[in-house]
Chains A and B, each alone.
Chain A
Amino acid sequence: MVAEYAWLIPVFPLISFLLILLFGGRMREGGGHIAVVAVGASMLLSLAVISSVVRFGRYESQGISWLGSEAFRFGVLVDPLSAVMLFVVSFVGFFIVLYSLGYMHGDPGVQRYYAEISLFIASMLSLVIANNLVFMFISWELVGLCSYLLIGFWYRKPSAASAAKKAFLVTRVGDILFLAGILVVYREFGTLNLSELFELAPGAAQSVLTLASLLLFGGAVGKSAQFPLHVWLPDAMEGPTTVSALIHAATMVKAGVYLVARMYPLFTPDSLGVVAWIGGITAFIAASMAIVMTDLKRVIAYSTVSHLGFMTLALGVGGYAAGIFHLLNHSFFKALLFLSAGAVLHAVHSQDIRDMSGLWRRMPVTGTAFFIGAWSLSGLPPWSGFWSKDEIMVAVHSYSTPLFWLTAATALLSALYIWRLFFIVFTGKESEQAKHAHEAPRVMLIPLVVLSIGALFSGFVSFAGFGEFVQSTLEHVPEGGEHASYGIMMLSILLAAAGTALAALTYYKPVISAAGVRTALKPVHTLLINRYYLDHIYYFFATRVVADTARALRGVDEGVVDAAVNGTGRAAVKSGSLLRKLHTGVVQDYASWVLAGAFVLLVIAGILGGGA
């Protein structure tokens, strides 16, 4: 059975990492072709494994003992959920690496780039097929490490080094909660093997499960940039655009959503309620901030945060398949949006959308790709984003009314911000920068075409039994409330259309003045542009609370603890420099005698005890 070889999937890019690390410097493109081949091999094997899962169901291997006890047997688990993730990571990952051959061409750090990106994909793939919570955590942290290195890829830029550190530290807060969750799970169940946990979970106390699942969800909040730990993601744009695409579409941020989906049997109604609300709030505030940002990549970044919120929300309200469905669709349209944004940046050498205008004429392929991505994201029918958003709204509707209206508002904002971006960048009068723009090379265009096809059609898999397939991951399917409601579907279309119309009336045919709205809603705009002041609060905490405590303790250490010691010492020294000289001499004598004595004894011991 092919699934028995699933463990090889992350091994290919791992080998690629080692090869490029050791020999990449002597190869063309820093060994980029090795990375393409390795990730390609992972993709092909993933496809084979997925087809095996579809036909024969889940597969779990015995695994090897990692820490010398049964609780830590690391093996492979492939089931419908991991199959979907395998597809997302390896397929989208492959096209991003392929695109890199064009995008990163000529960068002096290209060897490091391909080494790190190989490790990145390897870690993500091993996270997806791990069958043990600690194995997952190790992969999880390596994903975090790689994003740290890649966000800080151009480390000479202070902003890049700073963003990398921020990403690592903020997600570290989540990781600590994840680790605490592992501690609780281990103490309660005595095992960390996923299948065993799922069997034991129904028999455990609700309070323990709630605690454990909320801690694990804390890890997801960090990794998947959920409120209030979402602040690292918009800054994480400092790396190459391909890295942003990988982080946003295929790897890093999907890890958190995957963790929640993976550990679903441990979640209780209480903890799912928290998950749902965090997701809903995240989706809304991120969408609201996306409207006012002027950095091309930052707008897309906030849109990622918002859509991750949708996925979390879906899982929270019991729309298990809907959440995973949206994850799949989002991977395509978000990778597409980032890669076409990358092509734009490549052409105009600026990230500020106020420098861009009327790019459509010079970059038709890129423009079309972006248009498809935006259409899909905005939730207008009939492309992928529409279908999964609709499923999510149905699920939310049967869960909570206030949450439903929050989601509805977010749906409107989604369409508004993405079309705003499209109209500003691609339509209108050609700007100065746009005049020198040119279409990207072919190696960059092929991935755009493939991902466009994905973004258009991935939504139709739901008609081929995708939902049932994903649901079969779970033993106990959550109660799914009502099914396809035309009322909700109409509302969803209406909201997306309204958002699109607002964007068009403001930025395409300026009936509404954007500046006028800004002035009229001054306080709101200030709040949004300052990102709800969350960054300010964290900055205050890091500098005023943590750093000041550190300085104070250092003061105590040097001024109190050490001073006491020195005071005693000085008193002793003052009693005569003669004494000090004598003391040193004494030590030397003492040393010689002790050593000589010990040596003689040891010689005797050696002779007498030689036979022992």
Chain B
Amino acid sequence: MLQYLILLPLAGAIASYLAGRQSSSAPRVVALGVSLVTLGMAWLTLRAAPAQGFMREQLTLRWIPTLDISFALGADALSAALVALTALLFLVSVLASWGVEHRAGSYHAYLLCMLAGLMGVFTALDLFLFFLFWEIVLIPAFMLVNGWGGENRKYAAMKLLIYTHLGSLLMLVGFLLMYAKVHTFSMLEMRQLLSTGSLEYRTLVFLLVFAGFAFKIPLVPFHSWLPDAYTQAPTPVTILLAGVLSKMGAYGLVRVALGILPAEFAVFAKLIATMALISVFYAAFCALAQEDVKRLLAFSSLSHMGFLVLGVASLSAIGMKGAIFQMVSHGLIIALLFFCAGMLASRGYSLRISRLGGVLRSSPLLGWVIVFASLASLGLPGLSGFVAELSILLGLFSGFPALAGIAVLSLALTAGYYLWFLQRSIFGGDAGLRKGGVALVELVPVALLVLLITLLGVYPAPFMELVNGIAGQLVNAVAGGA
């Protein structure tokens, strides 16, 4: 079934492009249809994902036999969780794009191509295939920012392209070095085969691969593309960039850097955790000083992704579970926040914090959703963000108590910049009354996200049990390999 997660969006992309020639409203219907079916398939994948953390190869084709590249797809709990998140946020993105009229056919075609690529990345079991899909995601992302973005879109798009390409290049060199040693791209076989390599070789490979993911997540100081891309991209694309594309880096970090090179990861764990910690604080401080809502959210996202990496680098089962939980939780919360930013913009509010005000008075429902989303993002217990942060901190404290002691302080900063924003723009201030309620295409995604964030926060046990196996497997690999 996994191949249809990729095929259907691609077919949809063609259909959407063709439909766009007839009318400007047809493509969005195509995209909506595809996203609903994809969501159904993602749900089935999640249900079918094995509790024990082994991969289930569902489809293996000898694709390019001479190079031993095969078209191998599979899903475990981690993949399935990200497939589900991607499908869900894609639906949100499609609904957020409901008003796009300008070259709607191409727009939705690119969006659907991105979906196909994302599904490929999260299910590929062959490194070459992984890389191919990785690149497939990037191109539509570039086209969307470049073609439908804000004032400064050309600059932002080019920066995004060059930057992430640089990362991809490093990663590719790493992959090829791995291939040169073991003569296979199979992710399942690589770990065993690579463990015979020399220390210098494995260290080099690890650093190359890690750098590739560090660009994508991103970690400070490889983040420079992020604020511009998130701000300039059209909101539906920002939802995917922040919600899902950042998870490609995190997924790669877990699946490739940790999964294939566990011993090397363990060597660098403290360094990675330190980098992540710097990211958390650097971005939180930057967020505090921002004057634009979308930039504030961009830096907040950067900070939270740093927290995620802290969980991975903790190399403890609970920290790992927290990191996987954070992938989903952060995806949902940041999507909701950017969706709200889009709703503000579409109602004519200025997104400059100094000029944005009185939202609660003029658009009460939207205002309260923003309050909710901000509280979720600052880690309010009872909502999903807290579960992730708590697990990550518990894990980190068992491995690196000093780092955890510092990390916990960042929660005050996060609360600080969100509450200050709420006080200035949502509770206080005044930007004049605005008419207009909330449309159905807005209400559905908002309700869906609010519900999921609450459900995961109130009762996270089912999700944690789902990823228990894979987290244990990853941590044990380190313990066994080191």
Contacts and interface: CB of A to CB of B under 8 A. Distances in A.
Interface of A: 64-69, 134, 137-138, 140-142, 145, 152, 155-156, 158, 161-162, 164-165, 168-169, 172-173, 175-176, 179-180, 182-184, 186-187, 546-547, 549-551, 553-554, 557, 561-562, 565, 569, 584, 587-588, 590-591, 594-595, 598-599, 601-606, 608-609, 612
A116 to B, nearest CB: 12
A121 to B, nearest CB: 16
Contacts of A183: 393-394, 397, 401, 404, 408
Contact of A173 (B71, B159, B361, B412): B412
Nearest to A179: B408
Given A603-B7, A609-B3, 15 more contacts: A65-B461, A67-B461, A68-B321, A68-B460, A68-B461, A69-B318, A141-B381, A161-B428, A162-B423, A546-B416, A551-B289, A565-B225, A595-B136, A602-B6, A605-B3
A325 B414 CA distance: 38
Contacts of A605: 3, 59, 61, 71
Nearest to B288: A550
A489 B121 CA distance: 76
Contact of A180 (B7, B285, B405): B405
A313 B340 CA distance: 47
Contact of B136 (A569, A594, A604): A594
Given A176-B408, A551-B289, A591-B140, A187 B162 contact: no
B460 A67 contact: yes
22 contacts: A68-B461, A68-B464, A69-B318, A142-B381, A152-B427, A172-B415, A175-B411, A176-B408, A179-B390, A550-B288, A554-B286, A554-B290, A557-B282, A561-B221, A561-B224, A562-B224, A587-B143, A590-B139, A591-B143, A598-B10, A598-B132, A602-B3
Contacts of B386: 138, 141
A180 B408 CA distance: 7
Classify the secondary structure of B's interface with A. Answer: helix
B201 interface: no
A569 B282 CA distance: 24
Which of A67, A162, A549, A606: most chain B CB closer than 10 A?
Answer: A67
Contacts of B289: 547, 550-551, 553-554
Interface of B: 3-4, 6-7, 10, 13-14, 58-61, 63, 71, 113, 116, 132, 135-136, 139-140, 142-143, 146, 158-159, 161-163, 221, 224-225, 282, 285-290, 318, 321, 360-361, 375, 380-382, 386-387, 390-391, 393-394, 397-398, 401, 404-405, 408-409, 411-413, 415-416, 419-420, 422-423, 427-428, 459-462, 464-465, 468
B419 A594 contact: no
A165 B461 contact: no
A305 B323 CA distance: 40
Nearest to B284: A550
B10 A599 contact: yes
Contact of A161 (B63, B142, B413, B423): B423
B398 A187 contact: yes
Given A145-B375, A176-B409, A179-B411, A601 B416 contact: no
A137 B397 CA distance: 18
Contacts of B116: 598
A411 B10 CA distance: 78
Contacts of B14: 599
A554 B284 CA distance: 10
B381 A186 contact: no
Contact of A165 (B318, B401, B423): B423
B382 A138 contact: yes
Contact of A66 (B420, B423, B460): B460
Nearest to B426: A155
A67 B415 CA distance: 24
Contacts of A599: 10, 14
Given A168-B415, A554-B286, A591 B139 contact: yes
A68 B159 CA distance: 43
Contacts of A547: 288-289
Cβ-closest 9 pairs across A and B: A68-B464, A550-B288, A138-B381, A554-B289, A155-B427, A550-B289, A609-B59, A591-B139, A183-B397
Given A68-B468, A173-B412, A155 B419 contact: no
A165 to B, nearest CB: 5
A67 B10 contact: no
Which of B3, B71, B142, B398: most chain A CB closer than 10 A?
Answer: B3
Contact of A612 (B58, B286, B290, B415): B58
A173 B411 CA distance: 9
B139 A594 contact: yes
A562 B135 CA distance: 24
Nearest to B63: A601
Contacts of B140: 591
B133 to A, nearest CB: 8
Contacts of A140: 381
B416 to A, nearest CB: 6
A141 B416 contact: no
